[in-house]
Structure formats: C-alpha cells, structure tokens
Amino acid sequence: MINKELLLIMPAYNESACIGPFITKLRDGGIFDFADVLVINDGSKDNTSAIARQAGARVITHIYNLGYGCALQTGYKFAVRHGYKYLIQIDSDGQHDVCNVKMIYDALRSSDKPDIVIGSRFMDGSVTFKIPAIKKVPIAFFRFLIKRSTKQTVLDPTSGLQGLNQKAFLFYSYFNNFVYDFPDANMIIQMLLNDFKIKEVKSVMHIRETGTSMHSGLKPILYIMKMVISTTTVILRERKRYKKAHKKIDN
C-alpha cells in the first residue's frame, strides 16, 4: 500500500459510541482523499477497534490501556516507520470538527513552514463551546508558564488538535523526548526551547455528546499540580542541554 504524505492519528479508549460516525464524517468530508487515518485503540473494553476498522481506518491496538500519551507515541513511531511527511493528531470523540484537518494541513504546508500547528479555541474566527471556569484555570496557568519560560505566547496550550511536520514527530519519537504521562504545555515549552516553530490557527470545536472527558470534574486542578512538576523537569533538562551544547562550542 502506498502511503499518502499526511497521517491522521486518533487515540481512542472506549469510544464505540462516537468513533464510527466520526470516521464516516472524515470520509464524507474528503479527508481520506489526502490522508491515511490511523486509530490507536488504547486497550478499549468495548468494540472501538472493530467499529473503527469497519468504518475504514487502520487500527493499532494496545493490549492494555497505556494512556493518551502512549497512544500518541505509537502514532508518532508509526509515522516515522512509514515515512509520512506530516501528521495531525485529533480526538476520536467528535469534538474536533472535520474541517480542522484541511486547515491544519494547509498551515503545515504554508510558506512560513511551522513545525507544529495548534488548532486554537481562542483565535479570531474560532468556533467553540463554552469552556467551564474550572478548565479555564489550567489554560491560563499554562499560558503563563509558556510565556515565562520561552517569552512566547500560545493562546491554547491544552489543545489536543495539533499538526506536526516530520522534523517534530521525529523528535518526539526518540526516547526521552516525549512525556508519556502528561503531554501538554510541557511539550510546547520543550519544543519552543529547542527552536521549533509553533503556529496557532483558528479551529471549530463541538461539545462532547457522549462518554466522559479525561478532564472532567476536579481533574483539571490535580492536572495542574502534576504539570508543574513535569514542566519544571522539562525546563531544567532543556537548560542543561543548552549549557552542555554551548560548552562544547566554546571548547
């Protein structure tokens, strides 16, 4: 099978109610014409895998539920192994509108050549649902961390809708360059500190109709605490790399 230059990866855990209709929307929206679609079934206990295959997607299944970050890493390694030029990661629950795929793909191939494109809920022209106040807290906090550590502004640091060029997902696929447990603002900080170019574009989002979000309830507050530790580790590690690199140059 000849691969297209774009791979669309969809981590999925117990998404049997959503994933079939969403893949059908991708097909009806013409996405299959220019992108290969890969579902990473992360140890689902329902028939997510069978429904995804029946809808026309490729499927890789984790025997156990390893978590969102591990599912993404599986997608990155698949993209590297099969020689894709671009990758877009999108949720399998239908919250990310199909139209976002073409917008991010076009942005990845634009003249300014970004390494990472983030589908932002906070750009002019974006369409999204009302975000609960408890979720606005970590978003604001992560914006602050990114600005403080990199001097750059990212409006939507928690968006899971992202496009990556080959340079970016190659970097992620290497051991110890991707945090499996909490891949969020810490990864944005890491990439900016390593001189990767990040661009935000407007996006269209829908409220989740079925199932439970991994950031429901009080989880956002607990997530902030974990992210502070993870982000601090990333910043210290990247500064150590920077000093080591410049020490070699000076010598």
Given this model, what pLDDT does residue 208 score? 62
Q: Tell me, yes or no, whether 225 lies in a domain.
A: yes
Given this model, what pLDDT does residue 57 score? 97
Q: Tell me, yes or no, whether 1 lies in a domain.
A: no
Q: Which residues contact 116 (CB under 8 A, 6 or more apart)?
A: 162, 163, 164, 165, 168, 188, 191, 196, 197, 198, 199
Residue 5: closest CA among 109, 98, 145: 109
Q: Tell me, yes or no, whether 209 lies in a domain.
A: yes
Q: Tell me, yes or no, whether 16 lies in a domain.
A: yes
Could you read off the pLDDT of 126-141 as tens digits, one per residue? 998 888 887 888 889 8
**What is the residue-averaged pLDDT of the chain?**
88
Q: Tell me, yes or no, whether 210 lies in a domain.
A: yes
Residue 110: closest CA among 146, 86, 130: 86
Given this model, what pLDDT does residue 76 score? 97
Q: Provide the residue type at 52 as one letter.
A: A
Q: Where are the beta strands (DSSP E) in the chain?
A: 6-12, 35-42, 58-62, 86-89, 116-120, 162-165, 198-202
Q: What is the mean pLDDT of residues 241-245?
A: 56
Specify the CATH number for the domain of residue 11.
3.90.550.10
pTM (2 decimals)? 0.86
Question: Which range among 36-40, 79-83, 211-215 shows the weakest confidence by mean pLDDT?
Answer: 211-215
Q: Tell me, yes or no, whether 195 lies in a domain.
A: yes
Q: Is 181 left (phi over 0), alpha (psi -120 to 50) or beta?
A: alpha
Name the more confident of 170 and 135: 170
CA atoms of 163 and 75, how far apart (whole Å): 12
Considering its fold, how many domains does the chain have in total?
Answer: 1
Could you read off the pLDDT of 198-207 as tens digits, one per residue? 999 999 999 8
Q: What is the mean pLDDT of residues 72-90?
A: 97
pLDDT at residue 214 is higher than 90: no
Question: What values do phi and psi take at 151, rounded to 5?
Answer: 65, 15
pLDDT at residue 209 is higher than 90: no
pLDDT at residue 246 is higher than 60: no
Q: Tell me, yes or no, whether 184 lies in a domain.
A: yes
pLDDT at residue 210 is higher than 50: yes
CA atoms of 217 and 134, how far apart (whole Å): 8
| Domain span holding position 12 | 6-250
Q: What is the mean pLDDT of residues 184-188?
A: 87
Given this model, what pLDDT does residue 8 score? 98
